[in-house]
Amino acid sequence: MSQEAARILLGVRGMTTAESRTRVHEALRGLPGVHGVEAGDTEQVEVRYDPTEATVMDMIRALRHLGFLAGME
């Protein structure tokens, strides 16, 4: 990683079950530059990523592609 990882908190509407949290986690971890994902019991997920490889919009688009409404908290 070329610089310190950035962190973002994303709101993810519809992430209400263990299965949906797993789907969100896998989708985000599959993006280039994403180094860590923590999805809790709420509709929020914290992502650690390299901003030279991934953007917040990349993450939001990946989650919207799965049918979730996502945005920055």
Tell if the pTM clears 0.85, that is, is over it.
yes
Does 1 have pLDDT greater than 60? no
Buried b (16+ CB within 10 A) or exposed e, 22-55: ebbbebbeebebbeebebeeebebebbbbeeebe
Query: Which pLDDT value is given to residue 51?
Result: 95
CA–CA separation, 59 and 44 (whole Å): 13
Length, in residues, of the chain: 73
3: pLDDT confidence band, cut at 50, 70 and 90?
low
- Give tens-digit pLDDT for 10-54: 999 999 888 999 999 999 999 999 999 998 778 999 999 999 999
